[in-house]
Amino acid sequence: MLLSPDDDLEVRHVQPYEAVKPYRCPGCDHEIRSGEGHEVVVPTAAPDHRRHWHSGCWQREARRLERERARRPRP
Ligand SMILES: [Zn+2]
């Protein structure tokens, strides 16, 4: 699921000791290994769509969303 700049998101850092199982990162489609610190991103309106991201991949995605927001015409 591609995130929209309109989504209200909650981002939480997962510490290496909390990362007890592997996830697939939607940013690069590679695995986040257990024991690897990463980010959990939860759309406030759709908590079921929460995804685990590599920290670096999430930083890129957050910048992309930021640029999209900046490009938008204001209502
Ligand atoms: Zn990634």
- C-alpha of residue 53 to centroid of ligand 1, in Å: 6
Residue matched to tokens 């209502």: 75
61: amino acid identity, one letter? E
- C-alpha of residue 54 to centroid of ligand 1, in Å: 4
18: amino acid identity, one letter? E
CA distances from 56 to 15, 41, 50, 51 (A): 14, 13, 17, 14
pLDDT by residue (tens digit) across 4-54?
Answer: 888 899 999 999 999 999 999 999 999 999 999 999 999 999 999 999 999
- C-alpha of residue 70 to centroid of ligand 1, in Å: 24
Q: What is the pTM of this model?
A: 0.89
Check pLDDT > 60 for residue 62: yes
pLDDT for position 1: 56
pLDDT for position 75: 67
- C-alpha of residue 64 to centroid of ligand 1, in Å: 14
1: amino acid identity, one letter? M
- C-alpha of residue 2 to centroid of ligand 1, in Å: 14
DSSP letter at 62? H
